[in-house]
Amino acid sequence: MSMAAVALSYLIEGLDMKVLVDRPMLDLHDFNTVRQLYSESQQWARHYEGMIVNANVLIISASLVFVGLAFNERMTPIFSALILSIAVIMSLFGYALTKMLFRLYADCIERMIRYENIMNCYDINRFDMVDGLGALLPHTLMSLPVEPPASVKFFERLYYMLTTAYMAFVALQLIL
């Protein structure tokens, strides 16, 4: 089996992540295909990262509008509790959406690692003779599982706090 066939089966089957030490003999078409797939994965990862922030800002802003409505002095306590329940549901939806978007983001990053490996970005010896600096990318970037970015951690914690606060407000509205 040629190195190109091994490299392409590696892409398709998703074998364990190991640094390829021999450059696969990809023809120009195969190399361009891998490079295009890498570019597409990068664009989707950026898209999902942006969606995490933008969608969560929208959801949190909308839920805070409902909180403001619930504390209107003309509202009955039962109606205020119902409106706050909408904010609780929106927070739970936002948390689930954040988890889903992160999973899509992580899948893109995992694909990028596979494509980088096929293009020998992690091979220490490949580019060492060119400039003496070793691999193009450090092996630490190859580690799995993908860690959540700071924005994901922030929104997960924020949804936990908001959901707790909204539920406390609901309880207070029903008690008072």
Paired tokens of 122: 């992690």
| Per-residue model confidence (pLDDT) at position 6 | 46
Given a contact cutoff of 8 angstroms between Cβ atoms, the answer to whether 71 and 167 are in contact is no
Paired tokens of 7: 């490299």
Mean pLDDT, all residues of the chain: 85
Q: Can you state the angle between helices 28-70 and 3-13, rounded to 10 degrees?
A: 20
pLDDT digits (tens, 9 = 90+) for 38-66: 999 999 999 999 999 999 999 999 999 99
Residue ranges of domains in the chain: 3-8+24-175
Paired tokens of 71: 């504390």
> Band of the pLDDT at 23, cuts 50, 70, 90?
low
| Per-residue model confidence (pLDDT) at position 120 | 80
Given a contact cutoff of 8 angstroms between Cβ atoms, the answer to whether 137 and 53 are in contact is no
Q: Is the pTM of this model over 0.85?
A: no
- Of all residues in the chain, the percent with pLDDT exceeding 90 is 51
pLDDT digits (tens, 9 = 90+) for 96-142: 999 999 999 999 999 999 888 888 888 777 777 777 777 778 777 78
Given a contact cutoff of 8 angstroms between Cβ atoms, the answer to whether 7 and 118 are in contact is yes
Paired tokens of 19: 């640094």
Cα distance between residue 67 and residue 120, in whole Å: 53
Paired tokens of 9: 């089966």
Instruction: Report angle CA 145, 149, 153 to the nearest 5 degrees.
Output: 105
Cα distance between residue 34 and residue 136, in whole Å: 17
Mean pLDDT value across residues 165-170:
92
Cα distance between residue 39 and residue 35, in whole Å: 6
Cα distance between residue 82 and residue 77, in whole Å: 9
Q: Which is more confident, 51 or 20?
A: 51
